[in-house]
Amino acid sequence: MIQAQTKKPLGICETVLRDSHQSLLATRMRTEDMIPAMEMLDDVGYWSLEVWGGATFDSCLRFLNEDPWERLRIMRKRMPKTRLQMLLRGQVVVGYRHYADDVVERFVAKAVENGMQVFRIFDAMNDIRNMETAMRMVRKYGGHVQASVCYTLSPVHNNEGFVKTFKQLLQIGADSLCIKDMGGLISPGDAFDLVTRLKAVTEVPISLHSHYTSGMASMAYFKAAEAGVDMVDCAISSMSLGSSQPPTETLVAALAGTDRATGLDLAKLSDIGKHFAKVRKNYSHLEMKTYGVDTNVLQFQVPGGMISNLVNQLREQGQEDKLPEVLKEIPRVRADLGYPPLVTPSSQICGSQAVLNVLLGERYKMVPKEVKATNAVTSRIRVANGDRALKVGMFTQVRIALQERKAALTVPQTALAKSEEDVLSYVLFPPVAKEFLANRGKKAVELSGDQLAAIAVAIGAK
């Protein structure tokens, strides 16, 4: 029998409605395919359901012609009994750059109003300055603050350093903590050690998030359970494994009869699994050709959500055969940038540069502005031939958002905007949201200039 440091049931966060399909299906699952399973999911007794945030906001607008805010409202209505959880990128919100503080505040306020409860907040660089505002706003508007640290392997990262960062987050105010292992890199031994260290310094609940990419996640979860971890992230079996999470049913069965038994009903989980097995077939064109265990992730450290998108990007250019070269190039770029954890947006920055280096046949022949803006990581990238260098700039000494003026929370006079949520969508993704709002359908109502101005003033009010 498992001899855990706690006898509490292990909580499960089910990821099938967010990270699971972001990792396996490039975040393309439609709301209509989720709805038939929502009542079943709500009836299981999960600790939480991760349903929103991450890349889902962008994907709804950009690819699915769906309103992400309406998706959230549907989920809240159809799953009233279970905590709804989202992934919030701190000052980056759900986008790919830092936004002003007023944008962060209004986004959090509207997310809570529309039904969000648990906010898993992180920063790609583990820079708590970029998490503080989001944490304070979630607390202000009544949400649950789950402060996260991105787990990674490098010459400059270790468990002692992760615990130090967690302690700083606790001082700001966290309702729970999350070890965010986006690459599936954490070993069973390290999972046990890190959870044990955290349990020694805090009584707040601790969650472990991982991906199955390397094949270690289920073992890491089991050892973390022994160390007393409170919650872990799993995906229903038909949407698990590969770059997704460990299967929910497997962990439930493995812990049955132990001090950490989840208490979840395998029969109920089976019905959910059958539904998503059918749904997954609708998205087979987005699947990677191989999606089993890949221990090479321990070298290239590409997170689950990035792999499927990386494959599709190369496929669209007819260069899918270059994936192995790109994966080998990513850790080299990461080292040049000072070993940032590979998670949005740093994973996209490293990945895009690696793709360019491979496809152009020369390292740093072309450098995107996002790479040049990584001055918080390193002051110089040395190019392979050694006779020239790309100057990136001096280290950033202040919180990046302080360099942003108060956001111009307005939309074009011709935009179709019905609500404050629409304006926020536009502020976060201007070209994408503008196209979505213009083509949303007959139900959209064009607001006058005065109405748009009034919304903008309301959003900007403190």
pLDDT number for residue 405:
55
Q: How many domains does the chain have?
A: 3
The answer to whether residues 391 and 412 belong to one domain is: no
pLDDT band of 398, cuts 50, 70, 90: low
Q: 352, 378, 400: which is the final residue of a domain?
A: 400
pLDDT value, residue 370: 77
Q: What pLDDT was estimated at residue 399?
A: 72
Q: State the average pLDDT for the chain.
A: 86
Q: Is the pLDDT of residue 396 over 70?
A: no
* pLDDT value of residue 440: 82
pLDDT at 313: 79
Which of 117-121, 246-250, 377-381 is the least confident region?
377-381
Tokens of 453: 């101005």
Answer whether residue 62 shows pLDDT above 80: yes
pLDDT at site 329: 92
Instruction: Please report whether residue 290 resides in a domain.
Output: no
Predicted pLDDT at 95: 94
Q: What was the pLDDT predicted at 368?
A: 83
| Co-location of 76 and 183 in the same domain | yes
Question: Whole-prediction pTM value?
Answer: 0.85
Question: Does the pLDDT of residue 4 top 70, yes or no?
Answer: no
Residue 147 lies in a domain: yes
For the ranges 3-7, 39-43, 376-380, 425-429, the lowest mean pLDDT is seen at: 376-380
Note whether 335 and 258 are same-domain residues.
no
432 and 395 share a domain?
A: no
Taking only the tens place, the pLDDT of each residue in 208-265 is: 999 999 999 999 999 999 999 999 999 999 999 999 999 999 999 999 999 999 999 9
Same structural domain for residues 394 and 412?
Answer: no
Q: With respect to residue 6, please indicate whether it lies within any of the assigned structural domains.
A: no
Q: What is the pLDDT of residue 74?
A: 98
CA distance 424 to 170: 29
Residues 74 and 109 in one domain: yes
Strands 11-14 and 389-391 come out as unpaired
Do 259 and 253 form a contact (C-beta atoms < 8 A)? no
CATH of the domain at 367: 1.10.472.90
How far are the Cα atoms of 59, 279, 322, 436, 441 from residue 433, in angstroms, in the given order? 11, 27, 32, 5, 14
Structural domain ending residue among the three candidates 285, 315, 339: 285
pLDDT on residue 135? 98
Which CATH number do you get for residue 172?
Answer: 3.20.20.70
Q: What string of DSSP letters covers 332-361?
A: HHHHHTT---S-TTHHHHHHHHHHHHHHTS
User: Is 120 domain-assigned?
Assistant: yes
Same domain, 175 and 247: yes
pLDDT band at residue 378 under the 50/70/90 scheme: very low
Whether the per-residue pLDDT at 446 is higher than 90: the answer is no
User: For residue 317, what are the domain limits?
Assistant: 297-400
In a domain, 393, yes or no: yes
| Whether residue 386 has pLDDT greater than 80 | no
Alpha carbons 440 and 434: distance in angstroms, whole number: 10
pLDDT score, position 406: 59
Output the pLDDT for position 338.
83
Residues 202 and 341 in one domain: no
What is the structure's pLDDT at 347? 83
Residues 323 and 238 in one domain: no
Give CA 197 to chain center in angstroms.
25
Are 276 and 322 members of one domain?
Answer: no
Mean pLDDT of 305-331: 84
pLDDT at residue 397 tops 80:
no
Q: What angle do CA 139, 248, 200 make, to 5 degrees?
A: 50
pLDDT in tens, 182-206: 989 999 999 999 999 999 999 999 9
* Domain presence at residue 5: no
**Domain ends where: 381, 400, 419?**
400
The span from the CA of 237 to the CA of 253, in Å, is 12
Query: 215 and 336: one domain?
Result: no
Report yes or no on 445 lying in a domain. Answer: yes
Residues 268 and 337 in one domain: no
Residues 447, 376: Cα–Cα separation, whole Å: 41
